[in-house]
Copies of this chain bind each other. A is one copy, B any other.
Amino acid sequence: MIFSSKAEYGVRLMVELGRQAPEHPTSLKAIADAEGLPLAYLEQVVARLKRAGLVMSARGAHGGYWLARPAEEISMDEVVQALEGAIAPMECFVSDHTERVVCSHGPDGGRGCATKLLWTRVQGGIIRSLQEMTLAELVRFAGGPVVERTALAADAATTPTD
């Protein structure tokens, strides 16, 4: 498996936040119930998103989470990186002190490291496909925004499925 369930849960969480109006925060419990995910585990997931500056939060009663930026300005590349860490196709990929991790293999006895070329291209393919997608796209695909909680059922009844 390429991505862990942290990524799955985190993306679902972001989509759910994208569907909500940002005026009043959404509690984790509401999201956990809606998506059928374990609340305690979601806390750890959302913590990563918060550390990355993708969501903001309010504590106390009626607190919760909301998107730090509009969904149109959030690329899925940021979301997945926040959840999974840097995208490394192979163990030899280590931090380059830049945004992207790179293969640590030096020249293999004067020859080029063959796998380095391969994994670097794969990494590029993944990152590109993630960068080309925004959270807004996923929100639209999931049925668009829902302001009133009660509107969700009606929405579900009329929206065509995939």
Check A116 for interface membership: any CB of B closer than 8 A: yes
The proximity string for A residues 108-137 relative to B, scoring 1 for CB distances below 8 Å and 0 otherwise, is 111111111111011011101110110001
The chain B residue with its CB closest to the CB of A88 is B1
Check A151 for interface membership: any CB of B closer than 8 A: no
A49 CB contacts on chain B under 8 angstroms? none
Check A46 for interface membership: any CB of B closer than 8 A: no
Check A150 for interface membership: any CB of B closer than 8 A: no
Q: How far is the CB of A148 from chain B (nearest CB, A)?
A: 16
Q: How far is the CB of A102 from chain B (nearest CB, A)?
A: 11
Identical chains in the assembly: 2
Instruction: Name the one of B5, B15, B118 contacting A11, with C-beta atoms under 8 angstroms.
Output: B118
List CB contacts (< 8 Å) of A72-98 with chain B: 76, 87-92
Complex: A92 Cα to B161 Cα, angstroms: 18
CB distance B111 to A11 under 8 Å?
no
Check A41 for interface membership: any CB of B closer than 8 A: no
CB distance A118 to B88 under 8 Å?
no
The chain B residue with its CB closest to the CB of A116 is B162
The chain B residue with its CB closest to the CB of A79 is B118
CB distance B117 to A141 under 8 Å?
yes
CB distance B114 to A11 under 8 Å?
yes
Q: Give me 6 other A-B pairs in contact (C-beta within 8 A), A12-B114, A111-B159, A117-B133 excluded.
A: A1-B89, A7-B90, A8-B92, A11-B115, A112-B162, A125-B128
